[in-house]
Amino acid sequence: MKNTVFKGVATAIVTPLTKDGVDYESYGKLIDWQIAEGVNAIVAAGTTGEGSTLTDEEHREVISYTVKRVAGRVPVIAGTGSNDTDYAVELTKHACEAGADAMLVVSPYYNKATQKGLIASFTKIADNCTKPIILYNVPSRTGCNILPATAATLADHPMIVGMKEASGNLSQIAELLHLVGDRMDVYSGNDDQIIPIMALGGKGVISVLSNVLPKKTAEMCDKFFAGDIAGAAKMQLDYIPLISALFSEVNPIPVKAAMAAMGFCEDYLRLPLTSMEDANREKLLALMRKEGLKV
């Protein structure tokens, strides 16, 4: 069995931005709040952190800053994937040197790859990495599905220890868990499937919801691990409307609006992302108020 990077909830944290760049003062406060609320890990510069529109310098700085600010309180997982394997290798090397505890590496997007290409690309990145790697399967964004058999092959690599599964296909995820056994931890990449995936043997979630409700998302996972399956399932179902609102437009548009309403950052996104539509925003804020959040 390989070492588990985290168990429970890792927040795919937003990156506070302004027209002048990364707002590190707000980012530091957000990190501290997330940890105080009980999350089990922080994912920096992922999809929710707008890693795809950070400059190379910003991307590296965000990873380095996150490691320093977290200061060992929870694991830091750095988003270092790219559709350019060589760039992913260089970014991964930086994150290792900066002290990140693990990498989150998405499958190549736009140019995509065959399953053979996925194995070659992920293997090259892993061969150049001194920290554990969690693969990220999100075919709705990448147009490229990491098949269970491919993941099972990659699980033989000593540095590849996990998979964030956001395919939404529970049958595929069940097959994945069957094939990899204890060679690879599997995490839900969709907040509406946290408990179903954990019921199949998943170790937790890399979450958008936990930006807004870190304590409650952690509590949901804790209930499940403590054997209160019914209680965990009830929380999962109770949060379905809020989760749906957080994905009513392309992530991270809604969660950035939510965090701005909570006072953690500006509602500022980089093109091609634009601010949330007013009607969707009102629905989101109403659901947040229902959860007792002051927005």
Q: Per residue of the chain (295 residues), what is the pLDDT tens digit?
A: 788 999 999 999 999 999 999 999 999 999 999 999 999 999 999 999 999 999 999 999 999 999 999 999 999 999 999 999 999 999 999 999 999 999 999 999 999 999 999 999 999 999 999 999 999 999 999 999 999 999 999 999 999 999 999 999 999 999 999 999 999 999 999 999 999 999 999 999 999 999 999 999 999 999 999 999 999 999 999 999 999 999 999 999 999 999 999 999 999 999 999 999 999 999 999 999 999 999 8
* 81-94 as b/e: b if 16+ CB within 10 A: bbbebeebbbbbeb
pLDDT of residue 172: 98
Of 27, 65, 131, 164, the active-site residue reads 164
What distance in Å separates the CA atoms of residue 105 and residue 78, rounded to the nearest whole number? 8
DSSP 16: -
Of 65, 136, 187, 239, the active-site residue reads 136
Domain residue limits, the chain: 8-228
pLDDT of residue 261: 98
pLDDT of residue 2: 81
* 38-71 as b/e: b if 16+ CB within 10 A: bbbbbbbbbbbbbbbebeeebbbbbbbbbbebbe
Task: Answer yes or no: 164 catalytic.
Answer: yes
Which H or E element spans position 288?
A: helix 278-290
Closest residue by Cα to residue 134 from 77, 172, 178: 77
How many residues belong to the chain? 295
pLDDT of residue 280: 98
Task: Answer yes or no: 29 catalytic.
Answer: no
Provide DSSP, 30-50. Answer: HHHHHHHTT-SEEEESSTTTT
Q: Tell me the CA distances in angstroms from 45 to 33, 50, 154, 168, one per residue in order.
A: 18, 6, 24, 22
Q: Tell me the pTM.
A: 0.97
Pick the CATH number of 8-228 from 2.20.25.10, 1.10.357.10, 3.30.413.10, 3.20.20.70: 3.20.20.70
Per-residue pLDDT reduced to its tens digit, 189-216: 999 999 999 999 999 999 999 999 999 9
